[in-house]
Structure 1
């Protein structure tokens, strides 16, 4: 059982909270129709801070299960002002703790402001509603705000810009937790659009985070934050506080990938976003994500997506 926590606070958009609750219920039904013991089941819980300085508490939409774990948190948009003061600090601390324990964190629209308080977005790209991009950048200068992107999927953190983007982030999480076929069937049932690039070229990189190895998880968060650029095995082992051979063994056991393979997926994921949403040259994109050898970049990109960078842009790039 995987638990998805939806944050509920005064002024939160109820359409997002209830819409996501329904979306995950439909995804559960689609997964159940597969009669597969390999697919987990999703449980949705609503979280709130009942009073300042108190830890968030949850209300379940179904009976709690001791086997459930918090696999993701979604911060809905606000219809009024975002939480402030002690309440915001307490909620941000809980979000950060949950992320450190392996939960994927997603924000919708102005939910990025609360996510930014956690510090998890420092040094990363993030998006929010286009009318508040300058305000977000001003309040949190360590962020790289890009409101031209409707969604920025950074593996362990996902931010979206639209007020009604709850369906897209919900489908991304279904894709991540239950697989692309369940996400596609859920989207078809709801008659909403789902990302063609994720469906046809495999999902954007979905790292395994809920493995319970804190040392490896620390390295994963570090790699997602810096884009896996200019990192070495020695630096990763040092970040984990482990001897290199021990780190290699534990990293592969936890993530299913060698550190070099993991870094390739992180870099290609960022390159895919740039190919979809920018007009930068392929050489520039290769350099930006950490490849000085464009030929090596093209080889790795095609290995992961089954398309060359130019083919990928031609198929999924934003049309002028």
Structure 2
């Protein structure tokens, strides 16, 4: 039975009007999301805000998006937006970028040791600025769970459809793409049902445990360990975690590990045994069983079907 969920945010989604921001991307994304309740009156509209650095909300947001820059503007380490983005992400916000917007996420430290993408023409500059990022400029979009990056000036359409799928489901992606006359080929529907657990639930101890799992998913993670991270008793931790995320810790961890493995199978060349080890499985058959229980495919079959083609 699928355990992936769509969650329409109940907190603001902020499109950031950073210095040099592409107006077409800001207003295009706003228009794209505004169409959803018109196409489906039962769907909840997003609380969408376009904010400059001096009008940013101080309360937690559901997601933040840095759009392309058309003036070759690059963020300084001490820019208020950098600190704000890092703080919001630490509080559970989904962090997104399009094209050169990735420089803002990189400056905020949100891409270190993660896969990410940006415009292919920015590859050399980006690698020099952020050598710890696992840059994959050949990909139009990279979803790394709580950080999503898209490459190319017009990739805001890809990001918009991807977020639509995450928040409203695959059927809405199809309806929206048809309405906008956007060709959704290559945007497989399986991507729109990826593991995206809620992070705007407001339970800070649970969020601390989620962050710990994000960073250490390849390590043994037991309920006692996670309860200690959350500073709760084991019984209270399991109750709080399940209420906040909709999943018990063990099921959540399996889904997280499978999601990380999916990305590695799609984008990388490592062996299935190495990927199993990297995501926390010391037994390859156990990994294969867990992977198939979530995706319906063996790791090898999944790689064959969904591996990103380069060139």
Q: Report the equivalent of 1:28.
A: 37
Matched, 1:70 2:61: yes
Give the drift of 1:6: 0.4
Question: How large is the RMSD of aligned CA atoms in angstroms?
Answer: 2.5
TM-score computed with the length of structure 1 as normaliser: 0.84
2:229 counterpart (225, 236, 239)? 239
Output one character per residue of 1:207-252: Cα deviation in whole Å (capped at 9) or x when no partner: 1111110111122123223445433323322221222222111111
Secondary structure of the corresponding residue to residue 250 of structure 2 = helix
Q: Report the equivalent of 2:3.
A: none
1:271–1:193 Cα change, 3 Å = farther
Matched, 1:82 2:86: no
Output one character per residue of 1:252-271: Cα deviation in whole Å (capped at 9) or x when no partner: 11001111111111111122
The answer as to whether partners of 2:99 and 2:151 remain within 8 angstroms in 1 is yes
Q: Report the equivalent of 1:61.
A: none
Q: Report the equivalent of 1:64.
A: none
Distance in 1 separating the partners of 2:134 and 2:190: 29
Q: Report the equivalent of 1:95.
A: 85
Distance in 2 separating the partners of 1:192 and 1:229: 41
Gaps of 5+ in 2: 1-9
2:19 counterpart (10, 13, 36)? 10
Q: How does 1:281-300 map to 2 (within 5 A)?
A: 281-300=271-290
Q: Report the equivalent of 1:303.
A: 293
Q: How does 1:144-293 map to 2 (within 5 A)?
A: 144-194=134-184, 199-200=189-190, 203-293=193-283
1:89–1:19 Cα change, 3 Å = same
Distance in 2 separating the partners of 1:194 and 1:295: 35
Distance in 2 separating the partners of 1:251 and 1:196: 35
Which has the bigger relative contact order, CA under 8 A and spacing at least 6? 2
1:152–1:293 Cα change, 3 Å = same
Give the drift of 1:157: 1.1
Q: Report the equivalent of 1:56.
A: 56
Secondary structure of the corresponding residue to residue 74 of structure 1 = strand
Output one character per residue of 1:263-316: Cα deviation in whole Å (capped at 9) or x when no partner: 111111122122222333322322222222111111111111112222222322
Give the drift of 1:7: 0.4
TM-score computed with the length of structure 2 as normaliser: 0.86
Number of residues paired by the alignment? 301
Distance in 2 separating the partners of 1:104 and 1:85: 22
1:127–1:201 Cα change, 3 Å = closer
Secondary structure of the corresponding residue to residue 70 of structure 1 = coil
Q: Report the equivalent of 1:47.
A: 51
The answer as to whether partners of 2:218 and 2:277 remain within 8 angstroms in 1 is no
Distance in 1 separating the partners of 2:44 and 2:82: 28
Secondary structure of the corresponding residue to residue 5 of structure 1 = strand
Output one character per residue of 1:137-172: Cα deviation in whole Å (capped at 9) or x when no partner: 332344333323332212211112222211111122
Distance in 1 separating the partners of 2:305 and 2:181: 22
Output one character per residue of 1:57-111: Cα deviation in whole Å (capped at 9) or x when no partner: 69xxxxxxxxx9732111001112335448x621112222322333211011111
